[in-house]
Structure 1
Amino acid sequence: MAMRLSNSAITGLPGSIQGPTYDRAALTTGIVHIGLGNFHRAHQAVYLDDLFSKGLDHDWAICGAGVRAPDAGMRDALMAQDCLSTVIELSPEDASARIIGAMIDFVEVAPDNGPLIARISDASIRIVSLTVTEGGYFVDAGTGTFDPTHPDIVADAANPGAPRTVFGAIVAGLRARKDAGIKPFTVMSCDNLPGNGTVTRDAVVGMARLIDPALADWIALEVTFPNSMVDRITPATGDRERALARETFGLDDPVPVTCEPFRQWVMEDNFCNGRPRFEEAGVTLTSEVHTYERMKIRILNGGHAIIAYPAALLGIEYAHEAIAHPLVRGFFRKVETEEVLPHVAPVPEMTPAAYLELIESRVANPAVVDTTRRLCHDGSNRQPKFIVPSVRDGIRAGISVNGLALLSALWCRYCAGQIESGAEIAPNDPSWDMLVATAQEARSRPRAWLEMSDVYGDLAQMPAFSERFEYWLRMIWQTGTTATLETYIQS
């Protein structure tokens, strides 16, 4: 019979499963993390678990939190197992499981975020960290800055005592600390965003400025927002992953996490109220985060899109099968080498070309079972951050953006709502209905797609990109994905 996780049960874990080697009862909370998805539990929580296992910094345990109604389901699942998480690392050769104990509590999820605000108002909380997805920062894609006119932000500014957004809650917590004379906390984004700390600072200060300009000035002066780069491939959890935990490791966990063995965390050492000794757990602390970040976001996150959209249209379900397909791999290698790598600088440990080889090997790992659907998700938020910057760099440098234009055409074709077999694509973007309508219009008028200024800005007016996009979109509809990829690869 499979074992349910609990503090008492983990003392009897089989030798093949690693559990906490520290006394969880002696941990105290120093971090509130908002957004308890799979990535956080396979990344930040693992680094802290490693740190605690060294006997260090036991006053920096995690308290989970959420600001959306669905977060309550995760809270219920984790609280039922004493906030323990199963993390299963999948290499091509084998799988290994460990139980992560770095999180010890989970704040009640409430519409007005009252419990969250109360928790982060407490002086014991010195870091508030976030994984709220790339689209959760209220960025105006046209300007690249915080959008104070977003309806959710306007609503929070009008009712700051009962905010519904993460940034409204953070501002309310900081306001309470300022009023009480308590030192503020660091706000630490762990999302895949270029300049994630800067983007977070803009959102928090911008939210505060709508409520109380003096508070905004205090936050701008006293609160720090370290930039960071985070990396680990972490698929969604489904029946397959739950069965793996149960049948391979004898663990009855409704929310296990699977991930690749590789992980990386690069961060600025910019904390206003102390921090754990992250470097003792393998975190790279550096002032050059943006160089690491550009390499990762352009090559890996952008590469996911390059792989996923043609593969999905061809009916390929898994990422490792996609990269094994000669046309998809050929497309990936040609676009990355000719149009992405020229705009990426090396880091001390890695050249862009070597990093591309690493990424290909990671995507090819068949044990991870990552889906092309997951990699296609939320293109309306990911394309402006992961692809469009490479397009703009290429245009400025006067080099080809032909393959990146083809990628945008493939995304447009995907958003038309059917793969080439005729099978329907289930909604896969927060703006799916709008994207489908626009993609259908673009079939006869391709420029309609590029007129989505929140994604493309003014690229519709740049012939080096727009003319190639129109050429490729018409070819995809006329001859299909296979023939179009062949034409591009042979060009």
Structure 2
Amino acid sequence: MDYYKVNSKNLSLLKERVSVPTYDRTNVKAGILHIGIGGFHRAHEAFYTDELLNKNSNSNWGICGVALLSFDQRIYQTLKDQNGLYTLIVKELDGTLTKTIIGSIVDYLFAPENPIAVIERIANPEIKIITLTITEGGYNYNEATGEFEIENPSIQKDLKNPNDPKTVFGYLTQGLKLRKENNVSGCTIQSCDNIQGNGHVTKKMLLSYVKHAEPELVSWIESHVSFPNSMVDRITPATVSADMAALKETSGIEDAWPVVCEPFKQWVIEDDFIAGRPAWEKVGAQFVEDVVPYEKMKLSLLNAGHSVLGILGTLIGYSTIDEVVNDTVVSAFLEAYMEQEVIPTLGDLEGVDLNEYKKSLLQRFGNIYIKDQVDRICSESSAKIPKFMLPTVQSQLKDGGSIELAAFVIASWAIYSLGVDENGTKIPIKDAVKAVLHEKAVAAKSNPKAFLDIESIFGSLADSESFVEVFTKSYQNIMQFGVKKCLIDLNSKF
């Protein structure tokens, strides 16, 4: 078998082996600027956009991808070398691989290399939509108060060096300022991150920064920029060398950074685009008036479920999510958590059968071909737990519902934060506040409540006597008997 690298020159050869773009990429203009061109974006928004372009739809909706941070240089260089092309590998439930070359990213910029080029591109009249996947932690707000953290050193540096920004807020502010100065029409900024009310959050955080950086710009943004909420869903594990090797072996394709994902995908979007939008609904996206019920369902069931599996599975000694969920003791606990503590907080969702959704999640988590690493799921838990689990806890506390299962998970997180699993193996903790978590985790060994005293994560949860009582009992039981024995005992109760 001959081997071909992924690039524009080889597309005609690759089309004999896998699906490739049917549209002329040289005629596609970038009407979308996307910041954060990681795996999820390339499995989700870029995929939907590629599907739409394949329908011979409006060719003004290609994507210009921006690699924002210095450690994003590798993905930028890969896309540059491959002319923006990459392989999307969908791992079906039966183990088959569906392989597609995606062509919707038609331009790419590396922000640290040329900040002004990114600012000018944001101001380009052809850009109608700016989309973001900057992770939950990228929005720079205090988890407890919901307020923008203006004292963040990176933010302060951007305020002092507006033409050499490092944060998304610095870039957006200067780009929008240039749009205003050049009398360019407004645009839409759309978050594609797992944050409830992500459009509202994006607007609030951006305006909080703008009030300090360019206060005269605030009213222009409020009049000329829209911030639709959205809910995104597609499990996209980190690509590993085995994925690249399998792609080369089965299809003769050499791709320096393919993307692996599950077959399921979902995108629910508030239809609030001030300067037009692609007809993503033609390829499966759902436009609605109110995203909130859908995103609440997804965050508190799928995302929280992932965190439950990641934390408990890591402590037990598993390395991938499918291994964890295929342990019947853990999956029974997760099902009980969703049934007893989450679903009661969701109410009725039009067009959604929550029990069927719950079953589909267990099936998706259990896909043995995805091999989603538990350390990826557990990374930045300090930004995830407050969004995925704590709203459920607060709602249940308010209504007098069960909190025992959520408390068990958070107690497990406190023990996880010590950095060693139950087999004595070191846990590679990846978290922006890793040092604080470890400090409080050590203190919790003598006083479990100490872990809940991280106000930036838990807010006033430590003031809830009923939660502290259940949390403390769970912590002590796990330390004495281990996670698995405790799960068996809990499962017998629910």
What displacement does 1:155 show? 2.4
What displacement does 1:275 show? 0.9
1:243 aligns with 2:230: no
| Deviation digits for residues 154-207 of structure 1 (CA, Å, limit 9, x no counterpart) | 222233222210011001000001011111221111011111101100111111
C-alpha distance in 1 between matches for 2:97 and 2:235: 15
C-alpha distance in 2 between matches for 1:112 and 1:389: 40
Q: Could you tell me which of 346, 351, 355 is aligned with 1:344?
A: 346
Output aligned runs, 1:215-294, within 5 Å.
215-294=217-296
Match of 1:3 in 2: 4
1:365 aligns with 2:364: no
C-alpha distance in 1 between matches for 2:438 and 2:415: 9
What displacement does 1:280 show? 1.3
Output aligned runs, 1:172-187, within 5 Å.
172-187=174-189
Match of 1:27 in 2: 28
C-alpha distance in 1 between matches for 2:164 and 2:433: 27
TM-score, normalising length: structure 2: 0.97
What is the letter of the counterpart of residue 71 of structure 1? D
Quick check: 2:187–2:224 contact (8 Å CA) kept in 1?
no
1:92 aligns with 2:114: no
1:403 aligns with 2:420: no
Structure 2 unmatched runs, 5+: none
C-alpha distance in 1 between matches for 2:121 and 2:310: 40
Match of 2:103 in 1: 101
What displacement does 1:16 show? 4.5
Quick check: 2:68–2:110 contact (8 Å CA) kept in 1?
no
Q: Segments of 4+ in structure 1 off by > 6 A?
A: none
Quick check: 1:295–1:345 contact (8 Å CA) kept in 2?
no
Bigger shift: 456-465 or 367-376?
A: 367-376
C-alpha distance in 2 between matches for 1:62 and 1:346: 37
C-alpha distance in 2 between matches for 1:283 and 1:268: 11
C-alpha distance in 2 between matches for 1:370 and 1:295: 21
Bigger shift: 264-273 or 211-220?
A: 211-220
What displacement does 1:14 show? 4.9
Identical pairs, percent: 35
C-alpha distance in 1 between matches for 2:187 and 2:482: 53
| Deviation digits for residues 327-357 of structure 1 (CA, Å, limit 9, x no counterpart) | 1111101111100111113433312221111
Match of 1:48 in 2: 49
Quick check: 1:111–1:164 contact (8 Å CA) kept in 2?
no
Describe the SS at the equivalent of 2:292: helix
What displacement does 1:213 show? 2.1
The CA RMSD measured in Å over matched residues stands at 1.3
1:64 aligns with 2:65: yes
Output aligned runs, 1:100-119, within 5 Å.
100-110=102-112, 113-119=115-121
Describe the SS at the equivalent of 1:160: coil
Match of 1:477 in 2: 479
1:487 aligns with 2:486: no
Match of 2:431 in 1: 429
What displacement does 1:238 show? 1.5
What is the letter of the counterpart of residue 31 of structure 1? I
C-alpha distance in 2 between matches for 1:109 and 1:242: 27
What displacement does 1:273 show? 1.2
What is the letter of the counterpart of residue 52 of structure 1? L
C-alpha distance in 2 between matches for 1:345 and 1:235: 31
Match of 1:213 in 2: 215
C-alpha distance in 2 between matches for 1:249 and 1:143: 51
Quick check: 2:375–2:428 contact (8 Å CA) kept in 1?
no
Quick check: 1:137–1:203 contact (8 Å CA) kept in 2?
yes
What is the letter of the counterpart of residue 24 of structure 1? R
What displacement does 1:399 show? 0.6
Quick check: 1:345–1:351 contact (8 Å CA) kept in 2?
no
C-alpha distance in 1 between matches for 2:427 and 2:112: 33
What is the letter of the counterpart of residue 482 of structure 2? G
Quick check: 1:72–1:109 contact (8 Å CA) kept in 2?
no
C-alpha distance in 2 between matches for 1:347 and 1:40: 27
Describe the SS at the equivalent of 1:422: coil
Match of 1:81 in 2: 82
Describe the SS at the equivalent of 1:183: coil
What displacement does 1:487 show? 2.0
Describe the SS at the equivalent of 1:8: helix
Bigger shift: 269-278 or 11-20?
A: 11-20
What is the letter of the counterpart of residue 10 of structure 2? A
Bigger shift: 349-358 or 148-157?
A: 148-157
What displacement does 1:2 show? 2.5
Structure 1 unmatched runs, 5+: none
Quick check: 2:375–2:429 contact (8 Å CA) kept in 1?
no
What displacement does 1:112 show? 6.9
What is the letter of the counterpart of residue 248 of structure 1? T
Corresponding pairs, count: 491
Match of 1:334 in 2: 336
What displacement does 1:250 show? 1.6
What displacement does 1:244 show? 2.0
What displacement does 1:248 show? 2.0
What displacement does 1:221 show? 2.1
Quick check: 2:115–2:163 contact (8 Å CA) kept in 1?
no
Output aligned runs, 1:370-385, within 5 Å.
370-385=372-387
What is the letter of the counterpart of residue 459 of structure 2? G
C-alpha distance in 2 between matches for 1:231 and 1:480: 33
What is the letter of the counterpart of residue 246 of structure 1? K
Bigger shift: 143-152 or 243-252?
A: 143-152
Match of 1:122 in 2: 124
Quick check: 1:71–1:109 contact (8 Å CA) kept in 2?
no
Change (3 A) 1:159 1:14: closer
